[in-house]
Amino acid sequence: MSEKKLWSGRFNQPTDAFVEAFTASVEFDRRLYRYDIQGSIAHATMLAESGILSKPELDTILSGLARIQARIEQGGFEWSVGLEDVHMNIESALTAEIGDAGKKLHTGRSRNDQVATDIRLWLRDEIETIRDAILRLQQALLESAEREAETIMPGFTHLQTAQPVTFGHHLMAWFEMLERDRERLADCNRRVNVMPLGAAALAGTTYPIDRRRTTELLGFDRPSENSLDAVSDRDFAIEFTAAGALIMMHLSRMSEELIIWSSAQFAFIELSDSFCTGSSIMPQKKNPDVPELIRGKSGRVFGHLMCLLTLMKGQPLAYNKDNQEDKEPLFDTVDNLKGSLKVFAEMVPTISCRRENMRQAALKGFATATDLADYLVRKGLPFRDAHAVVGKAVARCAEKGCDLPDLSLEELQSFSRVIEADVFRCLTLEGSIAARDHIGGTAPAQVRAAIARARARLEA
């Protein structure tokens, strides 16, 4: 099965068959083929411009690489485990295709700077795709938030009814989490978009290369500053996975809320049939599988972050084969992020909101107790005293099995003489939310203003 290795010069014995398969990465890194070829095109072009390759050699290399890319894309390329990785598979196919000029492509380059370049080129594209996927989810949230800007629901702390909020306000909280995620990825990309080629194996190369030119050809922001660092640095992969872990943590929290809200006990929302599945034994079941699966998938992305940190922690400079283990966690992180964001964005517009149930829930649990305390403060009581007065009123309601607005004016006045008939306005759900009328508050007008600012931010 073994092809002749491109590095076999000093070896007398063939690689053990199991070791060959064990050390190979082509089964997964072939995914990088497009970026590997893109990097080779830039490298060869720079070599020719710098007089290291001749123009005819360059032309042969470029047309050979184009034919190889086409063959890969048409499924006619034969990947060989014996050739270890994507880099040597393509290089060896190039030499088979065009002869001696193919053997010159690797001049002034090592797989160490090559692989670092490939991953950066690949990740840069994936970051863009993921940022777009976040944006689409944010746009879906804005639409729903606008529709539900006046829909009242209980807001929770400790999952106990706290104060009334609007559903639109809640959805805008999700929007904000995702906005930070999008920013984090853009920031991470500043450290991804750095050009390692020229570092070669670790120390740089003896050829008169032009690193600024390869940087420009590949659209990187700048060449890396230190060759040892360039081939060994995987900080950018860890940072990306950390940003990915935060995204999954956010999606998982949102999923958890959707799961709770769609239960018969809450019944705040209904998920569309197309995002749920049934039970093979219980005919009545409609299970929120999609959010559950996303909540579950967060675990593997957190795992990948730990995996990459551990991968790097014991490595002396510069490149070590350990680094080959960076790809599978990265690929899986990207795939799960894209899948989860896509399905979430498609699910959000299909969520139907059971407004009356939300309202009824907000009417339980003394959601306007803080409003009563604030009312007493406006009438001159110190806040701590007001808190105590309302506590007593709540205890009375609990005894009677009613809510604060169900108490008569006389009953309320028995707790504090400052209470007057105007108290009932602040005890209503509408009065409570309308009163939180400042930037970031839940008043419907503020939610609409927040949506308008968010739209402007997305368009910026």
Residue closer to ligand ARG (CB basis): 7 or 383: 7
Residue closer to ligand ARG (CB basis): 115 or 443: 115
Contacting ligand ARG within 342-401 (CB under 6 A): none
Quote the least distance from Cβ 328 to ligand ARG, whole Å.
10
Cα dist. 110→61, 65, 425 in Å? 17, 18, 75
Contacting ligand ARG within 292-311 (CB under 6 A): none
Residue closer to ligand ARG (CB basis): 111 or 184: 111
Q: CB count, 10 Å around CB of 218? A: 21
Quote the least distance from Cβ 72 to ligand ARG, whole Å.
17
Cα 13 from Cα 437, distance rounded (Å): 78
Q: Which residues are catalytic?
A: 158, 279
One-letter identity of residue 108: G
Phi, psi of 155 (to 5 degrees): -90, 150
3-state secondary structure of 154: strand
Contacting ligand ARG within 84-113 (CB under 6 A): 85, 111-112
Quote the least distance from Cβ 331 to ligand ARG, whole Å.
12
Do residues 58 and 47 lie in contact, with contact meaning Cβ atoms separated by under 8 Å? yes
Contacting ligand ARG within 213-232 (CB under 6 A): none
Burial group, residue 419, by CB count within 10 angstroms (0-12, 13-18, 19+): buried
Cα 412 from Cα 406, distance rounded (Å): 10
Q: Is 324 in the site for ligand ARG (CB under 6 A)?
A: yes
CA end-to-end distance (rounded Å), the chain: 55
Residue selected from 92, 189, 232, 323 as contacting ligand ARG according to rule CB under 6 A: 323
Kind plus residue range of the DSSP H or E element containing 236: helix 235-261
Quote the least distance from Cβ 124 to ligand ARG, whole Å.
18
Q: Is 41 in the site for ligand ARG (CB under 6 A)?
A: no
DSSP string of 437-448?
A: -STT--SHHHHH
Joined together, the tokens standing for residue 305 give 């972050």
Joined together, the tokens standing for residue 111 give 């797989």
Q: Is 321 in the site for ligand ARG (CB under 6 A)?
A: yes
Quote the least distance from Cβ 274 to ligand ARG, whole Å.
40
Contacting ligand ARG within 18-37 (CB under 6 A): 25, 29
Residue closer to ligand ARG (CB basis): 324 or 340: 324
Residue closer to ligand ARG (CB basis): 40 or 323: 323
Cα 55 from Cα 36, distance rounded (Å): 21
Quote the least distance from Cβ 201 to ligand ARG, whole Å.
7
Residue closer to ligand ARG (CB basis): 29 or 181: 29
3-state secondary structure of 368: coil
Joined together, the tokens standing for residue 414 give 């028995």
Residue selected from 53, 94, 101, 115 as contacting ligand ARG according to rule CB under 6 A: 115
Given the DSSP bridges, would you call strands 269-270 and 352-353 parallel, antiparallel or unpaired? Answer: antiparallel
Contacting ligand ARG within 155-174 (CB under 6 A): none
Quote the least distance from Cβ 304 to ligand ARG, whole Å.
16
Residue closer to ligand ARG (CB basis): 112 or 166: 112
Look up tokens 């007001």; give the residue.
Answer: 386
The residues that touch ligand ARG, with contacts defined as CB under 6 A, are 25, 29, 85, 111-112, 115, 319, 321, 323-324
